Amino acid sequence: MNEQLIDNLNNVLQQLKHTFIGREDVIDLMGICLAGRENLFLLGPPGTAKSAMVKALASQLDGHTFEYLLTRFTEPNEIFGPFDIRKLREGDLVTNTEGMLPEASFIFLDELLNANSAILNSLLMVLNERVFRRGRETRPLPALMIVGASNHLPEDEALQALYDRFLVRVKCDYVDPQLLSAVLQAGWQLEQQTTTTTGSISHDDIATLQQQIGLVNLDTIRPAYLTLIQQLRNAGLLVSDRRAVKLQRLIAASALISKRTTAQLSDMWVLRYIWDTEEQQAIIAAIVNEVVNSEPVTPQEHPRARYSGLPDADEIHQEIQKMTTQWNDSHTSPATKAAIKDRLRYLNGRCEWITNATQREYVMQSINALWHQIMQQP
């Protein structure tokens, strides 16, 4: 295990966390997928820094980056390159891939689910096998990581196959209103940067790190992993055998990034992010958290392992009580009251993800009570 390479990657991820406030989960997952050479899907509305985060990570790699905004009319030439005219005159169908997807170390496909049938099969080959095939041409791809982004989930079966090739899915929503000030400051600092970031990790270094995934021993956690996969299937998640096999790479990547060559139960935190629909997120997180929390905290855990991803009902209730006291204080300024309203709207949305129905109803009662007080005041 090359700890220097791991330190380099972790340093890059830490820099991104300082720049993109409130996006620690997305950044950690980008690191996991980069180390595990798996694909990452970002779901979220426009303006949630999806593209900016991906580009910032890509800028740290010294290889060629390919990014493209897909539309319903995107043609294969726009992605893979045109046929070489000189070769075509000689009767050979050879693609000129210079500067295109087949030569990229890092690939970002924005609005992925706009892909049409003309490029669908080629993309499936790229995503699943890291191979470019066009006519008689077949060549392996140097891609270290492929990221897709969309503001919606697939609606037809053809696009479902494309979506399925992204093992990890993460929701990018607007940040917590309490973090907005820090977001604005970090965003302004990013705007003021005049120098171009040069790659701090080489293509070969990442490729070496990806090869070291095979050094991680999964034997100790495999029985628990098998049980977890069965629990997820019983809960309605379609975990195919192919996905179950590939998920082991992400578990190993979590261990490797934590500088371990033996996986532990906490490394299965990555399975929180294999949902197919947004409604499954809370259910899957609850199942995975039970496994992760069954093991005592260890010194070399991944920093994301104990983050449940679910709202804490007690914390929300306590915060609402403080907000209620603040709202009823005659000295509270109009600006603070406006902030309370914004925060309450955010917490109201978070409550939908509380898995315990009794706790959810209890917290909603306190939210509704505060809303009633707010509406009573002019």
pLDDT higher than threshold 90 for residue 216: yes
pLDDT higher than threshold 80 for residue 35: yes
pLDDT higher than threshold 80 for residue 101: yes
Mean pLDDT (whole number) for 106-120: 89
Answer yes or no: do 31 and 93 share one domain.
yes
**Is 60 within a domain?**
yes
CB 254 within 8 A of CB 270: yes
Least confident segment among 139-148, 180-189, 198-207, 319-328: 180-189
**Is 299 within a domain?**
no
For residue 197, the model assigns a pLDDT of: 53
For residue 272, the model assigns a pLDDT of: 92
The domain boundary residue, chosen from 192, 210, 232: 192
Write out the H or E segment, with its range, that includes residue 132.
strand 131-134
| Model confidence, pTM | 0.80
Answer yes or no: do 21 and 80 share one domain.
yes
**Is 298 within a domain?**
no
- Could you tell me the CATH number of the domain that includes residue 152? 3.40.50.300
Query: Chain-wide mean pLDDT for the chain?
Result: 86
Confidence of residue 219 (pLDDT cuts 50, 70, 90): very high
Answer yes or no: do 232 and 269 share one domain.
yes
**Is 211 within a domain?**
no
Q: What amino acid is encoded at 44 in this protein?
A: G
pLDDT higher than threshold 90 for residue 233: yes
Answer yes or no: do 225 and 164 share one domain.
no
Judged on CB neighbours under 10 Å (0-12, 13-18, 19+), 228 is buried
Instruction: Give SS3 for 262.
Output: strand
CB 1 within 8 A of CB 261: yes
For residue 204, the model assigns a pLDDT of: 87
Structure tokens at 102: 């087949």
**Count of structural domains, the chain:** 3
Q: Residue 339 is part of which domain span? A: 313-376
Confidence of residue 90 (pLDDT cuts 50, 70, 90): low
For residue 339, the model assigns a pLDDT of: 84
Answer yes or no: do 46 and 108 share one domain.
yes
Mean pLDDT (whole number) for 4-24: 87
pLDDT higher than threshold 80 for residue 136: no
For residue 354, the model assigns a pLDDT of: 74
For residue 129, the model assigns a pLDDT of: 87
The domain boundary residue, chosen from 240, 263, 292: 292
Answer yes or no: do 239 and 176 share one domain.
no
Structure-derived torsion over alpha carbons of residues 353, 355, 359, 362, reported in degrees to the nearest 10 = 40
For residue 146, the model assigns a pLDDT of: 93
Answer yes or no: do 24 and 139 share one domain.
yes
Confidence of residue 193 (pLDDT cuts 50, 70, 90): low
Mean pLDDT (whole number) for 299-327: 83
**Is 304 within a domain?**
no
**Is 200 within a domain?**
no
pLDDT higher than threshold 90 for residue 329: no
Least confident segment among 102-116, 159-173, 189-203: 189-203
User: pLDDT tens, 343-371?
Assistant: 888 788 777 767 677 888 888 888 899 88
**Is 335 within a domain?**
yes
Confidence of residue 195 (pLDDT cuts 50, 70, 90): low
CB 104 within 8 A of CB 64: yes
Return d(Cα 344, Cα 365) in angstroms, integer: 13
The domain boundary residue, chosen from 192, 227, 259: 192
Q: 3-state SS string over 110-122?
A: ECHHHCCHHHHHH
pLDDT higher than threshold 80 for residue 333: yes
Answer yes or no: do 91 and 166 share one domain.
yes
The strand pairing partners of 257, in sequence order, are: none
Answer yes or no: do 175 and 230 share one domain.
no
For residue 178, the model assigns a pLDDT of: 66
Answer yes or no: do 164 and 258 share one domain.
no
For residue 98, the model assigns a pLDDT of: 86
Answer yes or no: do 80 and 222 share one domain.
no
Confidence of residue 85 (pLDDT cuts 50, 70, 90): low
Confidence of residue 229 (pLDDT cuts 50, 70, 90): very high
**Is 207 within a domain?**
no
Higher pLDDT, 98 or 262: 262
**CA atoms within 13 A of residue 232's CA, in its CB half-sphere:** 29
pLDDT higher than threshold 70 for residue 27: yes
Answer yes or no: do 148 and 26 share one domain.
yes
pLDDT > 70: what percent of the chain?
A: 91
Mean pLDDT (whole number) for 127-148: 87
